[in-house]
Amino acid sequence: MTAVPPPDATRARRRRSGRLVRRGRRVAAPLTVVSALLATAALAGCGQQRDPDVYTVLNSSTDDSYHSWDAATLKRCSAKLGITIEQQSVPAPQVMTKSLRMASSKSLPDVIQFDASEMPTFAEAGGLIDLRTLGLSTKDIPEGIVDFGSYEGTYYGAARTVNTLALFYNKDILDKAGLEVPSTWDEMRDTAKQLTQGKQYGIALSAGGAEDGVFQFTPFMWSNGGDERELDSKNVAEALDYWKGLIKDGSLSKSTVNWTQADVNDQFMAGNAAMMINGPWQVETLNTKKNLDWGIAQIPVPKAGDDSVGPLGGAILTVPNTGDTAREKTAAKIVGCMSSEQEQITYARNSWMVPANAKAAAIWRKEVPELDALADQVATARSRTTQVGAGWASVSLALQSAFQSALTGQDSAAALKKAQARAASGN
């Protein structure tokens, strides 16, 4: 399937869920450290003298394609606002630490693009400004996406685009087998069984010990009524047992515990998996293989009629608390320009993500109708930090450990009991 000709995918293929792939574990900076650094920055004001007509956006757009897209956006916004806007790009795992170092040296940028799952840590420490107080409106933004950029009811982050997960399938393989696209867990398990032949697995997904695996587990956990506040509940155990069942059937490779979402996409493109759970950040790479006829559908649910609830992913634009109210107001205008309806559409065309603004999303749907299922999945998706805020980092690490144990033989309930204790302790 090919829609609008994709941009160069060489550097961008390793991106997922609006973030760069992270191998290994990373623990968010302790809140006490964040609070201390931000308090120091606030008390000292904006610190160093800056050029009044030059503003900086800190982001994670280190891939050539993403960096050039953002450069084009900032060039247009610079002309519109009559200022110069520069971007400073660092790898995604370094955005938080870079921001903290800049806070310590009283040289915070004017706009910080955080992954939405990290924003609560900075917001809870008082490091961000409420965007509504700076004149930014949430009109035409779905409630779930407003929540995505909020912490404890305060709107700190404006999204340009959002993403989530969906079921990708090889049309030729399903057609040859005479099978329909599954919509329930039972159907997906049965379909995956029938499509597992030789070196070809029925399905591929990421269950690795990193955020990739947790991101992919949430639609199974949430659609089954599970909750990240109660990892040891029956609902969460059933979702993990479902994954274990796919491995037991031989439909899902045991290597899933080592795969990132990029690895999953590689397996699908190589013909080693008939279906996969993945996101729109893979579309440009998929489209480089011209003989691959793929389709997309919502992630199957436990029972027919259930909502398929996936995770909202992506980055949000925030205005840090620098103590310089004049610059903060201008920074808000930069955020407003970057997240405007037209800029959202332009960014979505490049990145294959879904515009955050409802009107922009409607236009995008018409341009890429083959990704309509993705927009439907976004409509029911929610943020990972809605329930636990800055505590998501602990939940994520606990689940990562549970996957590694349960999918290699340990009882799911026992693994999740340990995970709940770990998440509750904040470690």
Q: Give me the pLDDT at residue 292, please.
A: 96
52 pLDDT tier (thresholds 50, 70, 90): confident
Domain shared by 144 and 275, yes or no: no
Mean pLDDT of all residues in 362-366: 92
| pLDDT for 31 beyond 80 | no
- Is residue 85 assigned to a domain? yes
**Structure tokens that stand for 82 in this block:** 């009559």
What's the chain's average pLDDT? 89
What residues have CB less than 8 Å from 127, skipping those under 6 apart?
A: 34, 38, 41, 99, 103, 320, 321
Domain shared by 48 and 139, yes or no: yes
**pLDDT tens-digit profile of 267-291?**
999 999 999 999 999 998 999 999 9
CATH code (residue 363):
3.40.190.10
Q: Do residues 114 and 96 lie in contact, with contact meaning Cβ atoms separated by under 8 Å?
A: yes
12 pLDDT tier (thresholds 50, 70, 90): very low
DSSP secondary structure of 54-99 = EEEEEE---SHHHHHHHHHHHHHHHHHHTSEEEEEE--GGGHHHHH
- Is residue 109 assigned to a domain? yes
- Is residue 137 assigned to a domain? yes
Q: Give me the pLDDT at residue 376, please.
A: 87
Mean pLDDT of all residues in 40-49: 50
Domain shared by 325 and 260, yes or no: no
| pLDDT for 91 beyond 90 | yes
Give the end-to-end CA distance of the chain in Å, rounded to a whole number: 44
- Is residue 15 assigned to a domain? no
d(CA 377, CA 364): 15
Strands 111-115 and 54-59: parallel
Domain shared by 282 and 175, yes or no: yes
**pLDDT tens-digit profile of 151-199?**
999 999 999 999 999 999 999 999 999 999 999 999 999 999 999 999 9
CA 86, 136, 102 angle in degrees (round to 5)? 40
Give residue 104's domain range: 28-163+312-380
3-state secondary structure 301-322: ECCCCCCCCCECECEEEECECC
In whole angstroms, how large is the CA radius of gyration of the chain? 21
Total domains in the chain come to: 2
Domain shared by 227 and 248, yes or no: yes
Q: Give me the pLDDT at residue 379, please.
A: 85
Higher pLDDT, 17 or 130: 130
Domain shared by 156 and 170, yes or no: no
- Is residue 14 assigned to a domain? no
Domain shared by 152 and 222, yes or no: no
d(CA 247, CA 255): 10
Output the CA–CA distances (angstroms, integers) from residue 296 to 165, 321, 396, in the order listed. Answer: 10, 41, 27
| pLDDT for 21 beyond 50 | no
Domain shared by 127 and 249, yes or no: no
Q: Give me the pLDDT at residue 35, please.
A: 56
- Is residue 403 assigned to a domain? yes
The domain boundary, picked from 362, 380, 398, lies at: 380
| pLDDT for 11 beyond 50 | no
Domain shared by 203 and 263, yes or no: yes
- Is residue 376 assigned to a domain? yes
CA 312, 313, 315 angle in degrees (round to 5)? 130
pTM metric for this prediction: 0.83
**pLDDT tens-digit profile of 233-253?**
999 999 999 999 999 999 999
- Is residue 18 assigned to a domain? no
Output the CA–CA distances (angstroms, integers) from residue 229 to 236, 276, 323, in the order listed. Answer: 11, 28, 35
Show the beta-strand stretches assigned E in 161-224: 161-162, 166-170, 201-204
- Percent of the chain clearing pLDDT 70 (strictly above): 89
Show the beta-strand stretches assigned E in 108-196: 111-115, 150-151, 154-155, 158-159, 161-162, 166-170
Domain shared by 177 and 240, yes or no: yes
Domain shared by 180 and 151, yes or no: no
Residue 239: enclosing H or E segment and its boundaries?
A: helix 234-249
Mean pLDDT of all residues in 65-87: 97
For residue 130, give the nearest of 145, 115, 146 by alpha carbon: 146
Domain shared by 239 and 264, yes or no: yes
The domain boundary, picked from 348, 364, 380, lies at: 380
